């Protein structure tokens, strides 16, 4: 049965993308602006490199470029309007508008928001959204889109493997490495054997737990095999995968031929080596190899 349908194989590709949402690290967590004297600048730079990532310089205006920059001292806020940007080589940020609220430890941006993080090993994270919100104390935030627009997340590792995801809203917790994509979620990952795709109304990744949950019209495909169910679960820590709700359907083709299987619930180990079809199981398989066997001539 594992040659007909490998639930774990399809789901293992899902977690390849989990780290993508860490693009939000580059929000306001940037080095402090240099002081005027060169010696003081060098000491200041070293000091802030050693400080925690959540610490901020007194004002961001010396780091962030924009057409307009206004400081509200009483509220401890900084407002940036028009062509807002920041680029230090490792982190890039752009938007039409941004607001830093120090008392709330909150940084928000809106309008053509673009975020990029380049890791030393060549890994690249990107995000495009209409609105971004990040609390640099709790390390929680959101990316959202308005109207028919979609949030776009992109990831490419140092082996040039890449993945792209689209959703209406992305919620993340960088401390716990939890990422939730909501609203017509679609993800694709090119591979040597074809394009792996994922669709659902909601997808929850728990990166530290090797966990993924797809909810609402979930669909996984590796180009040859497809699984459709209301709920699809991958739990790497407990070595389990399952599909349930409204009779999960698996169909596609293998070396033996084409197939379609429907059951009340599909369960397997995380690798898809052992698959259990539970409840009322129905299905068929068309195999040219079987049809050409001599035994068929007697029928």
**Domain extents in the chain:** 7-293
Q: How confident is the model at residue 92, as a pLDDT? A: 92
- In this structure, what token pair is assigned to residue 110? 């809106």
Residue 69 bridge partners (DSSP): 80
Among 178, 161, 134, CA closest to 19: 178
Q: How confident is the model at residue 294, as a pLDDT? A: 56
Query: Is 83 in a helix, a strand, or coil?
Result: strand
**Cα-Cα-Cα-Cα dihedral of 275, 278, 281, 287, to 10°?**
10
CB atoms within 10 A of CB 79: 18
Q: How confident is the model at residue 298, as a pLDDT? A: 52
Residue 95 bridge partners (DSSP): 84
Asked if 29 and 136 touch (Cβ cutoff 8 Å), the reply is yes
CB atoms within 10 A of CB 88: 11
Placement of tokens 């000491």 in the chain? 43
Q: How confident is the model at residue 22, as a pLDDT? A: 33
Q: What are the DSSP E strand ranges found in 102-161?
A: 106-118, 124-135, 140-144, 151-156
Q: How confident is the model at residue 102, as a pLDDT? A: 92
* Phi/psi at 263 (5° precision): -150, 175
Look over the chain and give the mean of its residue pLDDT values, rounded to a whole number: 78
Q: Does domain 7-293 have CATH number 2.60.450.10?
A: yes
Query: Is 22 in a helix, a strand, or coil?
Result: helix
- Helix ranges, the chain (H): 7-12, 38-50, 288-291
Asked if 201 and 185 touch (Cβ cutoff 8 Å), the reply is yes
Q: How confident is the model at residue 249, as a pLDDT? A: 86
- In this structure, what token pair is assigned to residue 9? 């194989």
Q: Element (H or E) spanning 165, and its range? A: strand 162-167
Low-confidence ranges of the chain (pLDDT < 70): 1-59, 270-273, 287-299
Among 265, 259, 264, 262, CA closest to 284: 259
Asked if 79 and 66 touch (Cβ cutoff 8 Å), the reply is no
**Rounded distance between C-alpha atoms, residue 278 and residue 208, angstroms:** 30
Asked if 192 and 165 touch (Cβ cutoff 8 Å), the reply is no
Among 235, 217, 115, 250, CA closest to 170: 115
Q: Classify burial at 77, counting beta carbons within 10 Å of its beta carbon; exposed 0-12, middle 13-18, buried 19 or more.
A: middle
Q: Element (H or E) spanning 120, and its range? A: none
- In this structure, what token pair is assigned to residue 247? 């009779």
- In this structure, what token pair is assigned to residue 238? 């407990």
């Amino acid at each position: 049965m594992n040659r007909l349908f490998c639930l774990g194989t399809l789901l293992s590709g899902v977690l390849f993308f989990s780290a993508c949402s860490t693009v939000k690290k580059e929000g306001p967590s940037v080095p402090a602006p240099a002081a005027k004297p060169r010696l003081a600048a060098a000491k200041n730079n070293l000091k802030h490199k050693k400080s925690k990532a959540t610490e901020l310089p007194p004002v961001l205006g010396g780091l962030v470029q924009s057409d307009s920059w206004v400081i509200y001292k009483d509220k401890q806020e900084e407002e940036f309007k028009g062509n807002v940007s920041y680029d230090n080589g490792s982190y890039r940020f752009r938007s039409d508008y941004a607001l830093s609220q120090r008392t709330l430890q909150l940084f928000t941006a809106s309008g053509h928001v673009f975020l990029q993080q380049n890791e030393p090993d060549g890994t690249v994270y990107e995000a495009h959204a209409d609105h971004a919100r990040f609390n640099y104390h709790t390390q929680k935030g959101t990316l959202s889109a308005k109207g028919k627009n979609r949030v776009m997340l992109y990831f490419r590792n140092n082996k040039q493997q890449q993945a792209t995801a689209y959703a209406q809203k992305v919620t993340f917790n960088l401390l716990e490495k939890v990422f939730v994509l909501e609203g017509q979620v679609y993800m694709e990952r090119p591979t040597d054997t074809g394009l792996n795709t994922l669709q659902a109304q909601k997808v929850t990744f728990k990166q530290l737990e090797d966990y993924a949950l797809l909810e609402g019209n979930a669909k996984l495909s590796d180009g040859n095999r497809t699984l459709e169910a209301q709920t699809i679960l991958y739990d790497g820590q407990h070595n389990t995968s399952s599909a349930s709700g409204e009779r999960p359907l698996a169909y596609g083709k293998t070396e033996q031929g084409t197939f379609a299987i429907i059951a009340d619930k599909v369960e397997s180990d995380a690798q898809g080596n052992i698959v259990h079809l539970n409840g009322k199981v129905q299905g068929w398989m068309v195999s040219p190899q079987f049809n050409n066997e001599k035994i068929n001539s007697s029928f």
